[in-house]
Chain A
Amino acid sequence: MTASADRRPSAPRARLWLAGVAAAALLGSAAPAAAERIFVSNERDHTMTVIDGETLKVIETVKTGRRPRGITASPDGKLIYICASDDNRVEVYDAATYKMLRTLPSGPDPELFVLHPSGNPLYIANEDDNMVTIVDTATGQKITEVPVGVEPEGMGISPDGKVLVNTSETTNMAHFISTDTNEIVENVLVDSRPRIAEFRPDGKHVWVSAEVGGTVSVIDPKTHQIVKRITFEIPGVTPEAIQPVGVRITSDNSTAFVALGPANRVAVIDTETFEIKKYLLVGQRVWQLAFSPDQKRLYTTNGNSNDISIIDIASEKVLKSITTGRSPWGAVAVP
């Protein structure tokens, strides 16, 4: 419904854009770089919304497998990976044509995954199966499975690719897994219902959000000690509504953003002092976060208001929201 409404005006725009390219080519100036595109997985209508990063309009709505949740891009930005949870597979899309290229085995109910920094392999959390499945993205073969706690979800990988962190929601642990041996080296208890594990780009800490606990545990991956437990307090918002989920940390390691679920806010946190600098009001039940490739913007998926919010990082202001499909779950942006 939303999809077709958004698509209708896109055809003439596409033609105009082509004309623009043609004109630019005629004038001999450099063709505009392919614009940034934002891909959003819509859990409840089984689609992926594609948004033009420049015009901030929906340019395509792609039908996916059932219950698409986790979404990520290959390091070169050419491939989009999606967990089709109810179809028990990972789908790989061409980021330029939006066509599905192939599927990968995922194990049952894949929810979230993380790519090795090199782009291979893919580490998948099987939420219904207490497993992490490791898949070779080149051959499409399953490499192995690692048994973890109940309802594995969050997946983070260290920048050097050596340490994988999986969170299990009902076991309430962050499992540190060596990617050399594919075995658990340590289990760190965190607060209730851990959702996301996100490494600082320099690898110094891994941040683990706990949805029901309402906290973020900052863990030193060398010692496996929790160095800081961040709590949130928002005037006028009940503590129960503060449910941290998505976490992203800027490439200069200075600032972390934490999505707070039904509190409808994103916390802006100093990664050195762990001080919360600001709460940004976004859409309802803010879930996952994604940076624009140039890290000037942050996109938030708002599951209950069926839109994404766009945050300008320099000014720490919410610029606007864009309607997506039903229950937008995750997002990724590629150049």
Chain B
Amino acid sequence: MIAARLTSIALLAASLALAGPAAAQQAPAETPAAAKPAALPFKFGVLRQFPPPPPWWNTIATLPPQDDGIAGARLGIADNNTTGRFMKQDFQLAEELVPFGEDPLPAFNRLIEGGAKFIVLAVPADQLLKMADAAKGKDVILFNAGAPDDELRQQDCRANVLHTAPNRAMLTDALAQYLVTRRWSNWLLLTGRTPEDRKYADDVKRSAKKFGAKIVEERVWNFGPDARATAQNEVPVFTQNVSYDIAVIADELGEFGDLIGWRTWDPRPTAGTAGLTPTTWHSTLENWGAAQLQNRFYRQSKRVMRPLDFQMWLAMRTIGEAGTRTKSNDVKALRGYIFGPDFELAGFKGQSFTYRPWDNQLRQPIVLAQPAAVVTVSPQEGFLHQTNLLDTMGFDRPETKCKLQ
């Protein structure tokens, strides 16, 4: 069951941009949008497949919105088209939502057959690799906006995939920098039951080693998928008889992470996938012009911008920015510009974003947030790097196992 399929919301976006009380008072200035037939087309596709929801996601507070991510892609298209009016460029979007458990490849092929040259994906890593290999040799740029897997930036990297989603190592490095800065260096690692949780935990260990923190003990959560009713008894026991500064939680589905805080045997803060969380975006970020993006997004979607929205927006803006500068929709020319010396993506986090040429990972500052407030943004001051401070997070060139092809 394919939930939605839209084509070209470009027209809508253009009319939105021009609408407003003034339009009635006086005709807006003649813009190149009027010369529509001459506009250079940029065809995008977006494909999203949600992960399986844990049993207790089904609350109105935690259920992800239907348009999670997609709304960010739509805003990216609208932003590109506002600039496109002046550049005679027309950005179009086709959307595919695939339920978990279904094969997303037919939807992917529909996007390719529909002429999409830029396809933004939020799918599991194994599906992403199938798509990357299916698109090999075609003039298409894929964006991984969802999968955090390190392997996609290492041994399983693909030349035709650019990553706007951060990988787990970037996230845990961002967190580790801050904890070490605060001298909270003894961590109790609490790991969930899924393979993804173990991967996150591995990256927590890697970051601890990299920045000089210590995992005093690792404990695995074995109280089942929904311990809300019994957590008050279980969590104190689960966290006793160990001396530590902070509990670092590896629980990507959110099965138990939010049950830990305020229930530990000793009064200790929590971080990781719950508590103080490293992420790309938070609704309370407002510095560096972020307030404008938040407002624009809220006006469009009547909800706050989420990390997946931001990561999809970044993919749209990557092509938008390259298209503005090269004045071309040619995939090779755009790619050349994106990896050239002049590319800089403005992402409202205090400095420009660029792609690492060794693994196609987008460099960006990482927000550390608690539920209702940004706490800090990494990289932290004092962590130095010879070329780019953002390369203190994730896989730097000497660590790469990626051979792009």
Residues of A within 8 A of B (CB): 109, 127-131, 133, 142, 144-147, 149-151, 168-173, 175, 177, 181-184, 187, 189, 191-193, 212-213, 238, 240-241, 243, 262
A144-B22, A192-B346, A212-B346 are known contacts. Are A171 and B29 too (CB-CB below 8 A)? no
A147-B17, A151-B289, A212-B352 are known contacts. Are A172 and B83 too (CB-CB below 8 A)? yes
B56 at the interface (CB under 8 A from A): no
A109-B295, A131-B22, A192-B346 are known contacts. Are A187 and B28 too (CB-CB below 8 A)? no
Contact with B22, one of A145, A168, A173, A240 (Cβ below 8 angstroms): A145
- B83 contacts across to A, CB distance below 8 A: 149-150, 168, 170-173
B324 at the interface (CB under 8 A from A): yes
Q: Are B352 and A170 in contact (CB under 8 A)?
A: no
A151-B289, A184-B29 are known contacts. Are A145 and B20 too (CB-CB below 8 A)? yes
Q: How many residues of B are counted as interface, with CB atoms below 8 angstroms from the partner's CB atoms?
A: 33
- B389 contacts across to A, CB distance below 8 A: 238, 240
User: Which parts of B271-312 form the interface with A (CB within 8 Å)?
Assistant: 289, 292, 295-296, 299
Specify the main secondary structure of chain A where it touches its partner: loop
B86 at the interface (CB under 8 A from A): yes
Q: Are A183 and B82 in contact (CB under 8 A)?
A: no
- A184 contacts across to B, CB distance below 8 A: 29, 31, 86
Chain B nearest CB from A260 CB (Å) reads 13
Q: Are A144 and B25 in contact (CB under 8 A)?
A: yes
Q: Are A128 and B295 in contact (CB under 8 A)?
A: yes
Specify the main secondary structure of chain B where it touches its partner: helix
Q: CA–CA, A243 to B344, complex, Å?
A: 13
Chain B 136-165: CB-based contact to A (< 8 A → 1; otherwise 0): 000000000000000000000000000000
- A170 contacts across to B, CB distance below 8 A: 79, 82-83, 317, 346
Q: Are A189 and B29 in contact (CB under 8 A)?
A: no
Q: CA–CA, A142 to B21, complex, Å?
A: 11
Q: CA–CA, A133 to B21, complex, Å?
A: 11
Most buried by A among B26, B29, B299, B346: B29
Q: Are B82 and A171 in contact (CB under 8 A)?
A: yes
**15 examples of A-B residue contacts, CB within 8 angstroms:** A109-B295, A128-B292, A145-B25, A147-B28, A147-B31, A147-B85, A169-B346, A177-B29, A189-B324, A192-B345, A193-B289, A212-B344, A240-B388, A240-B389, A243-B351
Q: Are B324 and A192 in contact (CB under 8 A)?
A: no
Closest to B353 in A: A212
Q: CA–CA, A35 to B248, complex, Å?
A: 59
A129-B20, A145-B20, A147-B18 are known contacts. Are A171 and B86 too (CB-CB below 8 A)? yes
Q: Are B22 and A127 in contact (CB under 8 A)?
A: no
Most buried by B among A128, A175, A177: A128
Residues of B within 8 A of A (CB): 17-18, 20-22, 25-26, 28-31, 79, 82-83, 85-86, 289, 292, 295-296, 299, 317, 321, 324-325, 344-346, 350-352, 388-389
A128-B292, A145-B20, A169-B289 are known contacts. Are A150 and B82 too (CB-CB below 8 A)? yes
- B351 contacts across to A, CB distance below 8 A: 212, 240-241, 243
9 A-B pairs besides A145-B21, A175-B86, A192-B321 with CB distance below 8 A are A109-B295, A131-B22, A144-B22, A149-B86, A168-B83, A169-B346, A172-B321, A184-B29, A240-B351
Q: Are B29 and A147 in contact (CB under 8 A)?
A: yes
A130-B82, A150-B79 are known contacts. Are A145 and B28 too (CB-CB below 8 A)? yes
- A109 contacts across to B, CB distance below 8 A: 292, 295
Q: Are B324 and A213 in contact (CB under 8 A)?
A: no
Q: CA–CA, A191 to B26, complex, Å?
A: 32
Contact with B29, one of A128, A146, A151, A262 (Cβ below 8 angstroms): A146
Chain B nearest CB from A286 CB (Å) reads 15
Q: CA–CA, A266 to B75, complex, Å?
A: 35
Q: Are B20 and A131 in contact (CB under 8 A)?
A: yes
- B28 contacts across to A, CB distance below 8 A: 145-147
Q: CA–CA, A48 to B228, complex, Å?
A: 50
- B317 contacts across to A, CB distance below 8 A: 170
Closest to A182 in B: B29
- A240 contacts across to B, CB distance below 8 A: 350-352, 388-389
Q: CA–CA, A47 to B20, complex, Å?
A: 30
Q: CA–CA, A213 to B346, complex, Å?
A: 9
Q: Are A189 and B346 in contact (CB under 8 A)?
A: no
- B82 contacts across to A, CB distance below 8 A: 130, 149-150, 170-171
Q: CA–CA, A151 to B296, complex, Å?
A: 10
- A187 contacts across to B, CB distance below 8 A: 86
Q: Are B325 and A189 in contact (CB under 8 A)?
A: yes
Q: Are B79 and A213 in contact (CB under 8 A)?
A: no
Q: CA–CA, A168 to B389, complex, Å?
A: 28
- A213 contacts across to B, CB distance below 8 A: 344, 352
A145-B22, A192-B352, A262-B350 are known contacts. Are A172 and B17 too (CB-CB below 8 A)? no
